[in-house]
């Protein structure tokens, strides 16, 4: 039996690490397979390629298991290298949704290149205007709210302190117990102050180092953002060429039937994600307008601020609106605590309306995912990747749900499973349920007829008297 130690180029040391054993084993397998056969037997090229890929996959998997730290470091370095381009691809995909709508409105321009450039410029300008509108709407309101908080918090603290003092005066036993537990008189306030100042002085160097790191991170983030936007613009400008090149590479590497299936899945993914993005934005706008109108009816403060916050946070499915509710209730609480409670009650009512009527029709129908799986997708995505995971998992779950449904229907059709066996109940139970429903319906009609005759008879008796 051949092994790595029998290979002529294997090292002579016996205390070789296990990782090197895998390397030499892989080299031995490649050397054997490269001699037009295995142990003198001819081998098919397709099988040879599969064996080579299998050996390479086993080698990579073994390296990950044996040197997890180095593999993690390599994966992190690779992600840092490609993350601007991944972000650019995501930005291009999001921008492509409004760009296609704008490009359809520019059909009068016959030059395709000019039409594409104008659509990209108008898309970026429109999104920039939306961001500027949101910032312009939020900044003054936040400034006013912070000023109100600055003015009202000292008063609130004084009122709370006065109430606590009054509570202590009214309950001397409680005051004595708290003083005994706290033992405030035995504390060495001078020593505590000196230790605090010494701690702050020792932490200054750490704070300065952290500030330098933050500045470096911000600079790197700005550079990555510029690279991502430039890459996104390039992808949007040449998306047909990139798609054609991708198809050529795909069909050159895999069989045609498999390539057709991959293209179909990619088109389904593109359609699902596009519908989700447009539906989620439309649903957020509807919810923000609904809150603005309702708050205006109840004469609540901070209507523009709260409605914009609700609309922006509603872009995150399921949990985003609740974050907007907490922020909106906090801003209203500063002005009027009673109206904050009214706002929370109003939010719960509107949230039920949105979950049962608006969201299923606007977003649910566009992605074709039942509500239960939406909740599962949001939970799993949030646990794995936070807010980005919530946005990513819903359309991804919709694609998986569609593929699973198609696969199930195809397998059922191949196996010729009768439709009766796929029902909730057997045929005999279904006929029994149908008979029971008809019997109840006849009884209900008979009862209504008897009540009508009874009322008519009472009316005739009353008229005769």
- Model confidence pLDDT, tens digit, residues 281-313: 888 888 889 999 998 998 888 888 888 888 888
Provide the residue range defining the domain that includes 434: 421-464
Residue 224 lies in a domain: yes
Distance CA(127)–CA(97), nearest Å, equals 12
**Pair (348, 259) in one structural domain:** no
Domain annotation covers residue 96: yes
How many domains is the chain built from?
4
Q: Which two tokens stand for residue 247?
A: 């198809």
For residues 156 and 162, what is the distance between their CA atoms, to the nearest angstrom? 10
* Same domain, yes or no: 298 and 440: no
Residue 230 lies in a domain: yes
Specify the residue for token string 């198809």.
247
Q: Is residue 397 part of a domain?
A: yes
Tokens, residue 410: 């195809």
**Where residue 20 falls among pLDDT bands split at 50, 70, 90?**
low
Residues 411 and 426 in one domain: no
Looking at 203, 235, 264, the residue that finishes a domain is 264
Residue with tokens 């566009």: 366
Residue 316 domain-assigned? yes
Residue 235 located in a structural domain: yes
Do 111 and 247 reside in the same domain of the chain? yes
User: Are 362 and 425 in a shared domain?
Assistant: no
13 and 135 inside one domain: no
User: Is the residue at 208 inside a domain?
Assistant: no
* Domain closes at, from 202, 233, 264: 264
CA distances from 203 to 189, 206, 216 (A): 21, 5, 20
33 and 52 in contact (C-beta within 8 Å)?
Answer: yes
Question: Do 386 and 433 lie in a common domain?
Answer: no
Q: Are residues 371 and 431 in the same domain?
A: no
As given in the structure block, the two tokens for residue 347 are 């939010």
Clarify whether residues 402 and 293 are in a common domain: yes
Same-domain check for residues 322 and 352: yes
Q: Are 127 and 260 contained in the same domain? A: yes
Whether residue 51 lies inside any domain: the answer is yes
Give percent of the chain with pLDDT exceeding 90.
Answer: 7
User: What local confidence, expressed as pLDDT, does residue 15 receive?
Assistant: 46
For 4, 308, 341, 382, 416, the CA distances from 288, given in Å and listed in that order, are 67, 6, 19, 23, 50
Residues 431 and 460 in one domain: yes
Examine the pLDDT at 249 and tell me if it is beyond 90: yes
Identify the top-confidence range among 115-124, 144-153, 347-356. 115-124
């Amino acid at each position: 039996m051949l092994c790595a130690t029998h290979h002529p180029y294997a090292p002579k040391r016996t205390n070789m690490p296990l990782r090197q054993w895998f390397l030499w084993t892989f080299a031995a397998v490649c050397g054997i397979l490269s001699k037009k056969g295995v142990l003198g037997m001819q081998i098919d090229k397709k099988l040879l390629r599969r064996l080579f890929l299998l050996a390479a996959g086993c080698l990579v998997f073994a390296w990950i298991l044996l040197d997890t730290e180095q593999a993690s470091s390599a994966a992190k370095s690779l992600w840092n290298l490609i993350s601007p381009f991944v972000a650019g691809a995501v930005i291009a995909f999001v921008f492509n949704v409004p760009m296609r709508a704008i490009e359809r409105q520019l059909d009068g321009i016959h030059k395709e290149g000019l039409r594409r450039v104008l659509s990209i410029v108008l898309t970026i300008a429109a999104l920039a205007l939306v961001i500027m509108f949101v910032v312009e709407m939020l900044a003054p309101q936040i400034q006013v709210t912070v000023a109100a908080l600055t003015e009202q918090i000292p008063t609130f603290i004084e009122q709370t302190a006065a109430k606590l003092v009054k509570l202590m005066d009214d309950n001397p036993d409680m005051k004595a117990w708290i003083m005994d537990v706290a033992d405030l008189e035995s504390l060495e306030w001078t020593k505590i102050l000196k230790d605090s100042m010494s701690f702050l002085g020792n932490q200054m160097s750490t704070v300065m180092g952290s500030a330098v790191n933050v500045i470096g991170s911000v600079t790197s983030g700005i550079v990555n953002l510029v690279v991502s936007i430039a890459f996104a613009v390039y992808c949007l400008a040449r998306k047909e060429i990139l798609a054609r090149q991708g198809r050529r590479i795909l069909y050159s590497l895999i069989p045609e039937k498999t390539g057709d299936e991959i293209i179909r899945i990619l088109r389904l993914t593109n359609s699902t994600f596009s519908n989700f993005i447009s539906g989620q934005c439309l649903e957020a706008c509807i919810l923000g307008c609904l809150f603005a109108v309702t708050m205006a009816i109840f004469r609540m403060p901070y209507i523009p601020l709260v409605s914009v916050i609700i609309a922006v946070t509603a872009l995150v499915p399921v949990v985003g609106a609740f974050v907007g509710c907490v922020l909106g209730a906090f801003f209203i609480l500063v002005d009027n605590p009673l109206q904050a409670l009214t706002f929370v009650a109003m939010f719960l009512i509107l949230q039920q309306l949105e979950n049962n009527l608006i969201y299923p029709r606007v977003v649910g129908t566009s992605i074709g995912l039942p509500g239960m799986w939406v909740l599962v997708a949001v939970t799993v995505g949030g646990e794995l990747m936070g807010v980005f995971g919530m946005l990513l998992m819903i359309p991804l779950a919709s694609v998986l749900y569609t593929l699973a449904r198609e696969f199930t229907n195809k397998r059922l059709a191949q196996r010729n499973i009768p439709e009766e066996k796929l029902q909730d109940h057997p045929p005999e139970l279904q006929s029994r349920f149908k008979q029971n429903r008809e019997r109840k319906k006849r009884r209900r009609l008979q009862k209504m007829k008897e009540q009508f005759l009874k009322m008519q008879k009472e009316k005739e008796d009353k008229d005769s008297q």
